[in-house]
């Protein structure tokens, strides 16, 4: 298993992407497939298990085409979400790390960390149509569908590459903090949020001017970030502090800190249900946060969904 040295953190790739692709996505897919009633009924259940092989560690879904894209170390499995069957396998590169989909252009973007590149997939033909050079050790990617841009964190370059998804070219490189890892986009506010693991901060990028307009101090080793445009909030998983920082995206200030489990690794938001889901890797659990505007910011109600310890 390959190991990435990220300054104050040094973990195998499996740590991050088991959390991203294994626990979190399975939970959210279960909630989606079972419907809103699943939340009220209690803990969601597994509705299907799909054999994809090859140690899967990340996934992205295109609801417009009923397809899901599962990343392995060197390939991408394409799943028909209607039949829950693998319909194609695309050879991409080696040691892949993240995937994002742009439904507007029928393209998927796969990050190749060791080769410092992003592969562009034609999701109609299931083929690689372009390879775009990034900075050193690209890790995460987020797509702004409306603007036709994708944002890629370059861990060892302390930067973010901005891709024009229409031309498949890098149109800007933005310096951020040390060891940028996670990235999320708020299209309605023209902002991108980048977690800087070694700086214990979040860089706020104006996506129109491709410039950092604010740097927000958060907890120790912020790994990933999610944005809720409906409430003007961003949620940052602080891996070493066992908590989540809640950012008011209008004032660029931390307005609450919520304790979760051990080693929170990733976070996702469901605006429709006012819930956020936090993967706690070392606790083998997911924390479910009440993120409604009416919730007390100092005492967010949360629950834990547990899974068995990894073998």
Let me know if residue 95 belongs to a domain. Answer: yes
Distance (Å, rounded) from C-alpha 231 to C-alpha 291? 9
DSSP one-letter string for 197-220: TTTTEEEEEETTTTEEEEEEE-SS
Domain enclosing residue 165, as ranges: 3-306
The pTM (predicted TM-score) of the whole model is 0.84
Let me know if residue 183 belongs to a domain. Answer: yes
Size of the chain, expressed as the number of residues it contains: 311
Chain center to CA of 31:
18
Distance (Å, rounded) from C-alpha 238 to C-alpha 249? 18
Let me know if residue 121 belongs to a domain. Answer: yes
Query: Which residue positions in the chain have pLDDT lower than 70?
Result: 1-44, 293-311
At residue 302, the pLDDT reads: 53
- CATH code assigned at 15: 2.130.10.10
Token pair 């024009």 is at which residue?
164
Let me know if residue 311 belongs to a domain. Answer: no
Question: How many structural domains compose the chain?
Answer: 1
DSSP one-letter string for 132-177: EE-SSSEEEEEEETTTTEEEEEETTTTEEEEEETTTTEEEEEEE-S
Residue range 26-46, pLDDT digits in tens: 444 443 333 333 334 445 577
Let me know if residue 87 belongs to a domain. Answer: yes
Residue range 202-231, pLDDT digits in tens: 999 999 999 999 999 999 999 999 999 999
- Strand pairing report for 75-80 and 85-91: antiparallel
Distance (Å, rounded) from C-alpha 266 to C-alpha 91? 27
Instruction: Check if the beta carbon of residue 123 is closer than 8 Å to that of residue 96.
Output: no
């Amino acid at each position: 298993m390959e190991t990435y040295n990220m300054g104050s953190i040094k973990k195998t790739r499996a740590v991050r992407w088991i959390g991203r692709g294994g626990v979190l996505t399975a939970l959210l897919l279960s909630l989606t497939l079972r419907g809103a009633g699943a939340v009220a009924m209690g803990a969601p259940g597994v509705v299907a298990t799909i054999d994809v092989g090859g140690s899967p560690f990340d996934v992205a879904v295109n609801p417009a085409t009923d397809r899901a894209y599962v990343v392995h170390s060197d390939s991408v499995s394409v799943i028909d979400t209607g039949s829950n069957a693998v319909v194609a396998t695309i050879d991409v590169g080696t040691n892949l790390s993240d995937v994002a989909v742009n439904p507007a252009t029928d393209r998927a973007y796969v990050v190749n960390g060791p080769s410092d590149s992003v592969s562009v997939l034609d999701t109609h033909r299931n083929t690689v149509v372009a390879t775009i050079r990034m900075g050193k050790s690209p890790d995460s990617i987020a797509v702004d569908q409306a603007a036709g841009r994708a944002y890629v964190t370059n861990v060892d370059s302390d930067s973010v590459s901005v891709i024009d998804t229409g031309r498949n070219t890098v149109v800007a490189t933005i310096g951020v903090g040390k060891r940028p890892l996670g990235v999320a986009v708020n299209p309605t506010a023209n902002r991108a949020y980048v977690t800087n693991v070694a700086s214990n901060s979040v860089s706020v990028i104006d996506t129109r001017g491709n410039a950092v307009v604010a740097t927000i101090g958060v907890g120790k080793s912020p790994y990933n970030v999610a944005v809720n445009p409906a409430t003007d909030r961003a949620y940052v998983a602080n891996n070493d502090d066992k908590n989540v920082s809640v950012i008011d995206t209008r004032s660029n200030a931390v307005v609450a800190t919520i304790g979760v489990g051990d080693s929170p690794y990733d976070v996702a938001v469901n605006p429709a249900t006012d819930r956020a889901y936090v993967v706690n890797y070392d606790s083998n659990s997911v924390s479910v946060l009440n993120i409604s505007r009416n919730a007390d910011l100092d005492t967010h109600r949360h629950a834990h969904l547990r899974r068995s310890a990894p073998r």
